[in-house]
Structure 1
Amino acid sequence: MAKKNARVHALEGAEMTAEGLSYKGVILETVVEQCDGCERAVDFEGKNYCPSYAQPAKKWSHSVCNFATHVRAGVDKEGKVKVNPLKASKRAARGR
Structure 2
Amino acid sequence: MAKKNAKIHALDGAEMTAEGLSFKGTIMEPVIDKCEGCERAIEVESKTYCPSYAQPAVKWAKGVCNFATHARAGVDKEGKVKVNPLKASKRAARGR
TM range (shorter): 0.7 to 0.9
Matching residue of 2:13: 13
Where do 5+ consecutive residues of structure 1 fail to align? none
Matching residue of 2:66: 66
Aligned-residue RMSD, C-alpha:
2.5
Structure 2 distance, partners of 1:59, 1:70, is: 14
The one-character-per-residue Cα deviations of 1:18-65 (angstroms, maximum 9, x if unpaired) are 111001111100000110000000000000000100000000001110
Deviation at 1:87, TM superposition (A): 2.8
Give the direction of change, closer, same or farther, for the CA distance of 1:88–1:11 in structure 2 (3 Å limit).
Answer: closer
Asked if the contact 2:42/2:49 (under 8 Å) is kept, the reply is yes
> Following superposition of structure 1 onto structure 2, how do residues 35-74 of structure 1 map, counting pairs within 5 Å?
35-74=35-74
Asked if the contact 2:63/2:73 (under 8 Å) is kept, the reply is no
Off by >3 Å, runs of 4+ in structure 1: 88-96
Asked if the contact 1:73/1:81 (under 8 Å) is kept, the reply is no
Q: Are 2:26 and 1:26 aligned? A: yes
Amino acid at match of 2:7: N
TM-score by length of 1: 0.78
Structure 2 distance, partners of 1:79, 1:59, is: 22
Structure 1 distance, partners of 2:24, 2:87, is: 41
Q: Identity, % of aligned pairs?
A: 63
- Structure with greater proportional helix content: 1
Where do 5+ consecutive residues of structure 2 fail to align? none
Matching residue of 1:83: 83
Structure 2 distance, partners of 1:50, 1:89, is: 34
Number of residue pairs aligned between Structure 1 and Structure 2: 92
Specify the SS of the correspondent of 2:7. helix
